[in-house]
Amino acid sequence: MSQRTLGLPTGRSRASDARMRQLADRSVFQEWRSSLYVFRQPFVLWPAVVGALVSGAWMLSLMVANGRATPNHVVTLVAISPVMGFGFAVLVGLPAFMIQRAFKAKPAPFAPADDETILAKERANHFLGDEGRGGELLLTDRRIVFVPHRFNVQLAAVEQALGRVRSVEWARVVNAAGLPLSHVLWVVEDERRERYVVRDAAALGARIEETAARGEHSAR
């Protein structure tokens, strides 16, 4: 498993000046890239290409054999072949990936340092590129840590030192009717901005801000 080393910060580079603010609601349709992420992966994409070519060739041969290879039928065939290909990939490639990961060793659980205290722990998602990864988000008195589960494509863990957190932002993700579906939490550490999907972003963000401020005062 490719995973970032979860080392503790060697020291506070500067006092944390984390500030939390609420951003405008985000439409669920703004997350369309993440919903297509799995279809761009080789274990889905290549079976889809093979499925589209094989099904298209088979249906074309039937059309020719039955004298129905008209331009309209061929255009219809070209349109539905990719759909059939991705259907084949979902039935074959995706289950194969899940079975392979089921036999893979589970990621090592997060182990705090001897003098480190875990303050909060919850199931969450983290966006690495376009992948919304499931896993566990932990807040300690020193850092934020996200440990993904083994059924994600990308398995790298994420760590953010509270002493370097500059700001905390959150927003609701709403459907077409304006009803909230989830909360998104952004934590900005120096120039790095990490995005999490959590149950209650306002409460967790406030706790991160409070913990970072407490660490600043204790470091003085």
Q: Which CATH number fits domain 20-33+106-219: 3.40.47.10, 3.30.560.10, 2.60.40.10, 2.30.29.30?
A: 2.30.29.30
What residues does each domain of the chain span? Answer: 20-33+106-219, 35-102
- 33-79 pLDDT, tens digit per residue, is 888 899 899 999 999 999 999 999 999 999 999 998 899 999 999 99
What pLDDT is attached to residue 218?
54
Rounded mean pLDDT of 173-186? 91
Query: Phi and psi for 104 in degrees, rounded to 5?
Result: -80, 145
**Banded pLDDT at 133 (limits 50, 70, 90):** very high
Question: For residue 130, which amino acid is it?
Answer: D
Element (H or E) spanning 77, and its range? helix 71-102
Longest Cα–Cα distance of the chain, Å, equals 85
**Banded pLDDT at 129 (limits 50, 70, 90):** very high
Instruction: Scan for tokens 């304006």, then name that residue.
Output: 178
Return the DSSP state at 147: E
Residue 9 has pLDDT above 50, yes or no: no
What is the value of pTM for the model shown?
0.81
- 148-166 pLDDT, tens digit per residue, is 999 999 999 999 999 999 9
Whole-number average pLDDT of the chain:
87
